[in-house]
Amino acid sequence: MRQTLTAAEADDIAAVAEALADAARAATLLHFRTGIAADSKDADRFDPVTEADRLAEARMRAVLARLRPDDAILGEELGAKRGTSGLTWVLDPIDGTRAYLAGAPTWGVLIAVADADGPFYGVIDQPFIGERFRGGLGRAEVSGPTGTHPLRARAARPLDAAILLSTFPEVGTGDERAAFHRLAAQVRLTRYGLDCYAYALVAAGQVDLVVEAGLAPYDVAAPIAVIEAAGGIVTDWRGRPARGGGRVLAAANAAVHAAALAVLAAAPEPG
Protein backbone atom coordinates (compact mmCIF):
# COMPACT_ATOMS: atom_id res chain seq x y z
CA MET A 1 0.00 0.00 0.00
CA ARG A 2 2.82 2.42 0.74
CA GLN A 3 3.79 2.39 -2.94
CA THR A 4 0.35 3.67 -3.91
CA LEU A 5 0.24 6.62 -1.50
CA THR A 6 0.05 10.02 -3.15
CA ALA A 7 2.16 12.90 -1.87
CA ALA A 8 -0.94 14.38 -0.27
CA GLU A 9 -1.75 11.08 1.47
CA ALA A 10 1.82 10.77 2.75
CA ASP A 11 1.67 14.33 4.08
CA ASP A 12 -1.62 13.53 5.81
CA ILE A 13 -0.17 10.46 7.52
CA ALA A 14 2.83 12.47 8.71
CA ALA A 15 0.57 15.25 9.97
CA VAL A 16 -1.63 12.81 11.88
CA ALA A 17 1.46 11.25 13.45
CA GLU A 18 2.44 14.74 14.65
CA ALA A 19 -1.00 15.23 16.15
CA LEU A 20 -0.72 11.89 17.95
CA ALA A 21 2.72 12.76 19.30
CA ASP A 22 1.50 16.15 20.48
CA ALA A 23 -1.46 14.55 22.26
CA ALA A 24 0.70 11.91 23.96
CA ARG A 25 3.35 14.47 24.88
CA ALA A 26 0.81 16.56 26.81
CA ALA A 27 -0.67 13.49 28.52
CA THR A 28 2.66 12.03 29.63
CA LEU A 29 4.11 15.32 30.87
CA LEU A 30 0.99 15.86 32.97
CA HIS A 31 2.11 13.05 35.29
CA PHE A 32 5.91 12.90 34.83
CA ARG A 33 7.90 13.32 38.05
CA THR A 34 4.72 13.63 40.11
CA GLY A 35 5.11 10.40 42.09
CA ILE A 36 2.45 8.66 40.01
CA ALA A 37 1.45 5.16 41.17
CA ALA A 38 1.89 2.07 39.03
CA ASP A 39 0.16 -1.28 38.70
CA SER A 40 1.94 -4.38 37.45
CA LYS A 41 0.66 -6.25 34.41
CA ASP A 42 2.53 -9.40 35.46
CA ALA A 43 2.05 -11.21 38.76
CA ASP A 44 5.54 -12.76 38.65
CA ARG A 45 7.63 -9.69 37.83
CA PHE A 46 7.20 -5.93 37.94
CA ASP A 47 5.83 -4.88 34.54
CA PRO A 48 4.47 -1.42 35.31
CA VAL A 49 1.59 0.48 33.78
CA THR A 50 0.37 3.88 34.97
CA GLU A 51 -2.52 6.24 34.48
CA ALA A 52 -0.23 8.19 32.15
CA ASP A 53 0.22 5.17 29.83
CA ARG A 54 -3.53 4.71 29.54
CA LEU A 55 -4.28 8.41 29.18
CA ALA A 56 -1.71 8.92 26.45
CA GLU A 57 -3.02 6.00 24.42
CA ALA A 58 -6.64 7.04 24.92
CA ARG A 59 -5.86 10.54 23.67
CA MET A 60 -4.04 9.19 20.62
CA ARG A 61 -6.97 6.91 19.82
CA ALA A 62 -9.31 9.87 20.08
CA VAL A 63 -7.22 11.72 17.49
CA LEU A 64 -7.34 8.71 15.17
CA ALA A 65 -11.09 8.34 15.62
CA ARG A 66 -11.45 11.91 14.40
CA LEU A 67 -8.82 12.04 11.66
CA ARG A 68 -8.28 8.43 10.46
CA PRO A 69 -11.36 6.43 11.51
CA ASP A 70 -10.90 3.72 8.85
CA ASP A 71 -7.40 2.73 9.97
CA ALA A 72 -6.70 -0.14 12.34
CA ILE A 73 -4.94 0.38 15.67
CA LEU A 74 -2.62 -1.84 17.70
CA GLY A 75 -1.85 -0.33 21.09
CA GLU A 76 0.05 -1.67 24.06
CA GLU A 77 -2.51 -0.74 26.69
CA LEU A 78 -5.89 -0.74 24.94
CA GLY A 79 -5.47 -3.56 22.44
CA ALA A 80 -6.42 -3.87 18.79
CA LYS A 81 -9.09 -2.14 16.73
CA ARG A 82 -9.97 -3.41 13.28
CA GLY A 83 -9.84 -1.15 10.25
CA THR A 84 -10.76 -1.19 6.58
CA SER A 85 -8.03 0.95 4.99
CA GLY A 86 -5.17 -1.56 5.04
CA LEU A 87 -3.16 0.66 7.39
CA THR A 88 -2.49 0.07 11.09
CA TRP A 89 -1.29 2.60 13.65
CA VAL A 90 1.02 0.89 16.16
CA LEU A 91 1.13 2.79 19.46
CA ASP A 92 3.25 2.51 22.56
CA PRO A 93 2.17 5.40 24.78
CA ILE A 94 5.15 5.13 27.12
CA ASP A 95 8.01 2.90 26.07
CA GLY A 96 10.12 2.74 29.21
CA THR A 97 7.56 3.03 32.00
CA ARG A 98 10.23 1.98 34.51
CA ALA A 99 12.35 4.97 33.49
CA TYR A 100 9.22 7.15 33.61
CA LEU A 101 8.58 6.06 37.20
CA ALA A 102 12.20 6.77 38.11
CA GLY A 103 12.02 10.28 36.66
CA ALA A 104 14.65 9.53 34.01
CA PRO A 105 14.11 11.23 30.61
CA THR A 106 14.89 8.18 28.49
CA TRP A 107 11.34 6.88 27.98
CA GLY A 108 9.43 7.85 24.88
CA VAL A 109 6.22 7.69 22.89
CA LEU A 110 6.29 5.33 19.89
CA ILE A 111 4.01 5.85 16.90
CA ALA A 112 4.18 3.90 13.66
CA VAL A 113 2.07 3.31 10.57
CA ALA A 114 2.25 -0.14 9.00
CA ASP A 115 0.81 -1.98 6.04
CA ALA A 116 1.00 -5.67 5.16
CA ASP A 117 4.75 -5.35 4.59
CA GLY A 118 5.48 -3.76 7.95
CA PRO A 119 6.05 -0.27 9.38
CA PHE A 120 6.84 2.47 6.87
CA TYR A 121 6.57 5.64 8.96
CA GLY A 122 7.54 6.14 12.56
CA VAL A 123 7.95 8.70 15.31
CA ILE A 124 10.04 8.36 18.47
CA ASP A 125 9.14 11.25 20.75
CA GLN A 126 10.81 12.18 24.03
CA PRO A 127 8.43 14.70 25.58
CA PHE A 128 10.54 15.95 28.50
CA ILE A 129 13.65 16.65 26.42
CA GLY A 130 11.48 17.88 23.58
CA GLU A 131 13.09 15.72 20.89
CA ARG A 132 11.08 14.12 18.11
CA PHE A 133 12.64 11.64 15.67
CA ARG A 134 10.75 11.00 12.42
CA GLY A 135 11.45 8.49 9.67
CA GLY A 136 9.81 7.23 6.50
CA LEU A 137 7.86 8.60 3.53
CA GLY A 138 10.98 10.40 2.36
CA ARG A 139 11.61 11.93 5.79
CA ALA A 140 14.49 11.34 8.22
CA GLU A 141 14.87 14.13 10.76
CA VAL A 142 14.96 15.06 14.42
CA SER A 143 13.65 18.25 15.95
CA GLY A 144 14.49 19.43 19.43
CA PRO A 145 16.18 22.08 21.53
CA THR A 146 18.86 22.75 18.91
CA GLY A 147 16.50 22.91 15.95
CA THR A 148 15.71 20.42 13.19
CA HIS A 149 18.45 18.24 11.72
CA PRO A 150 18.69 15.30 9.28
CA LEU A 151 18.99 11.80 10.67
CA ARG A 152 21.83 9.68 9.35
CA ALA A 153 23.07 6.46 10.93
CA ARG A 154 26.79 6.12 11.59
CA ALA A 155 29.15 4.88 8.88
CA ALA A 156 30.86 1.51 9.25
CA ARG A 157 33.66 1.01 11.73
CA PRO A 158 35.17 -2.14 13.28
CA LEU A 159 33.17 -4.02 15.90
CA ASP A 160 35.85 -3.31 18.50
CA ALA A 161 35.16 0.43 18.02
CA ALA A 162 31.37 0.09 18.25
CA ILE A 163 28.94 1.30 20.92
CA LEU A 164 26.22 -1.18 21.94
CA LEU A 165 23.04 -0.32 23.84
CA SER A 166 20.36 -2.46 25.49
CA THR A 167 17.68 -1.86 28.07
CA PHE A 168 18.61 -4.66 30.49
CA PRO A 169 21.92 -6.49 31.16
CA GLU A 170 19.84 -9.65 31.71
CA VAL A 171 18.69 -9.94 28.09
CA GLY A 172 16.02 -12.58 27.46
CA THR A 173 16.69 -16.24 28.20
CA GLY A 174 19.94 -17.74 29.39
CA ASP A 175 21.00 -18.56 25.83
CA GLU A 176 20.08 -15.07 24.63
CA ARG A 177 21.91 -13.48 27.54
CA ALA A 178 25.04 -15.49 26.79
CA ALA A 179 24.99 -14.47 23.12
CA PHE A 180 24.47 -10.83 24.02
CA HIS A 181 27.38 -10.82 26.45
CA ARG A 182 29.64 -12.48 23.88
CA LEU A 183 28.86 -9.53 21.64
CA ALA A 184 29.28 -7.02 24.46
CA ALA A 185 32.77 -8.43 25.11
CA GLN A 186 33.78 -7.52 21.55
CA VAL A 187 32.61 -3.90 21.37
CA ARG A 188 34.25 -0.78 22.80
CA LEU A 189 31.39 0.38 25.00
CA THR A 190 28.11 -1.10 26.27
CA ARG A 191 25.43 0.94 28.03
CA TYR A 192 22.05 -0.02 29.48
CA GLY A 193 18.67 1.41 30.35
CA LEU A 194 17.75 3.75 27.49
CA ASP A 195 14.60 1.97 26.24
CA CYS A 196 13.38 3.40 22.90
CA TYR A 197 15.80 6.32 23.13
CA ALA A 198 18.57 3.85 22.28
CA TYR A 199 17.02 3.25 18.85
CA ALA A 200 16.74 6.99 18.29
CA LEU A 201 20.48 7.26 18.93
CA VAL A 202 21.17 4.69 16.20
CA ALA A 203 19.19 6.80 13.75
CA ALA A 204 21.00 9.94 14.94
CA GLY A 205 24.42 8.45 14.19
CA GLN A 206 25.52 8.32 17.83
CA VAL A 207 25.73 4.57 18.41
CA ASP A 208 26.26 1.46 16.31
CA LEU A 209 24.03 -1.25 17.77
CA VAL A 210 20.97 -1.96 19.90
CA VAL A 211 20.32 -5.59 20.85
CA GLU A 212 17.26 -6.79 22.77
CA ALA A 213 15.00 -9.82 23.16
CA GLY A 214 11.42 -10.47 24.21
CA LEU A 215 9.98 -7.40 22.51
CA ALA A 216 6.42 -6.86 21.30
CA PRO A 217 5.41 -5.41 17.91
CA TYR A 218 4.60 -2.02 19.44
CA ASP A 219 8.14 -1.87 20.90
CA VAL A 220 9.82 -2.08 17.50
CA ALA A 221 7.51 -0.71 14.80
CA ALA A 222 8.47 2.95 15.16
CA PRO A 223 12.20 2.24 15.66
CA ILE A 224 12.25 0.11 12.49
CA ALA A 225 10.77 2.92 10.40
CA VAL A 226 12.99 5.64 11.87
CA ILE A 227 16.25 3.67 11.72
CA GLU A 228 15.65 2.39 8.19
CA ALA A 229 14.87 5.93 7.02
CA ALA A 230 18.21 7.02 8.48
CA GLY A 231 20.07 4.29 6.56
CA GLY A 232 20.30 1.68 9.30
CA ILE A 233 19.09 -1.90 9.50
CA VAL A 234 16.71 -3.64 11.93
CA THR A 235 16.26 -7.43 11.88
CA ASP A 236 15.91 -10.34 14.26
CA TRP A 237 18.99 -12.29 15.36
CA ARG A 238 18.88 -14.37 12.17
CA GLY A 239 18.63 -11.42 9.81
CA ARG A 240 14.88 -11.82 9.26
CA PRO A 241 12.22 -9.09 9.54
CA ALA A 242 11.75 -7.94 13.13
CA ARG A 243 8.34 -6.29 12.89
CA GLY A 244 6.78 -9.00 15.05
CA GLY A 245 9.14 -8.25 17.92
CA GLY A 246 11.05 -10.98 19.76
CA ARG A 247 14.82 -10.79 19.30
CA VAL A 248 15.85 -7.48 17.75
CA LEU A 249 19.15 -6.28 16.30
CA ALA A 250 19.29 -2.65 15.22
CA ALA A 251 22.46 -1.62 13.42
CA ALA A 252 23.80 1.60 11.95
CA ASN A 253 25.04 -0.03 8.74
CA ALA A 254 25.40 -3.34 6.91
CA ALA A 255 28.95 -4.03 8.07
CA VAL A 256 28.32 -3.75 11.81
CA HIS A 257 25.02 -5.57 11.36
CA ALA A 258 26.81 -8.52 9.76
CA ALA A 259 29.48 -8.57 12.47
CA ALA A 260 26.90 -8.55 15.27
CA LEU A 261 24.72 -11.09 13.52
CA ALA A 262 27.63 -13.52 13.31
CA VAL A 263 27.82 -13.50 17.12
CA LEU A 264 24.11 -13.44 17.95
CA ALA A 265 23.10 -16.13 15.45
CA ALA A 266 24.84 -18.69 17.65
CA ALA A 267 21.99 -18.44 20.16
CA PRO A 268 19.57 -21.36 19.72
CA GLU A 269 16.13 -20.52 18.39
CA PRO A 270 13.48 -20.19 21.12
CA GLY A 271 11.76 -23.50 21.84
- What's the CATH number where 215 sits? 3.40.190.80
Q: What would the mean pLDDT of 1-16 be, rounded to a whole number?
A: 90
Q: What would the mean pLDDT of 123-138 be, rounded to a whole number?
A: 98
Q: How many domains does the chain have?
A: 2
The enclosing domain of 62 has a CATH number of 3.30.540.10
User: Pick from 121, 150, 179: which residue ends a domain?
Assistant: 150
Residue 122: pLDDT above 90?
yes
Q: Quick one: which of 92, 123, 109 has its CA closest to 224?
A: 123
pLDDT tens profile 41-79: 877 778 899 999 999 999 999 999 999 999 999 999 999
Domain check: are 178 and 136 in the same one? no
Q: What would the mean pLDDT of 84-107 be, rounded to a whole number?
A: 97
pLDDT tens profile 202-248: 999 999 999 999 999 999 999 999 999 999 999 999 999 999 999 99
Which residue range forms the structural domain that includes residue 248?
Answer: 159-264
8 A C-beta contact, residue 228 and residue 135? yes
Query: With bands split at pLDDT 50, 70 and 90, how would you rate the model's confidence at 35?
Result: very high
Question: Residue 179: which residues within 8 A CB-CB, separation 6 or more?
Answer: 237, 263, 264, 266, 267
Residue 271: pLDDT above 70?
no
Give the orientation angle of helix 174-184 with respect to helix 254-264, to 10 degrees: 130
Is residue 224 included in any domain, yes or no?
A: yes
Percent of the chain with pLDDT over 90: 90
Residue 168: pLDDT above 90?
no
186 class by beta-carbon count within 10 Å (0-12 exposed, 13-18 middle, 19+ buried): middle
Region of 118 (left: φ > 0; alpha: ψ -120 to 50; beta: rest) is left
pLDDT reported for residue 169:
84
R_g over Cα of the chain: 18
Domain check: are 144 and 172 in the same one? no
Domain check: are 68 and 141 in the same one? yes
Percent of the chain with pLDDT over 70: 99
pLDDT reported for residue 34:
97
pLDDT reported for residue 64:
98
Q: What would the mean pLDDT of 114-134 be, rounded to a whole number?
A: 97
Domain check: are 163 and 97 in the same one? no
Number of H helices, E strands in the chain: 7, 15
Q: What would the mean pLDDT of 151-162 be, rounded to a whole number?
A: 98
User: Pick from 98, 125, 150: which residue ends a domain?
Assistant: 150
pLDDT reported for residue 198:
98
What sign does the dihedral 75-77-79-82 (CA atoms) show? negative
Phi, psi of 244 (to 5 degrees): -85, -5
Domain check: are 11 and 139 in the same one? yes
pLDDT reported for residue 1:
62
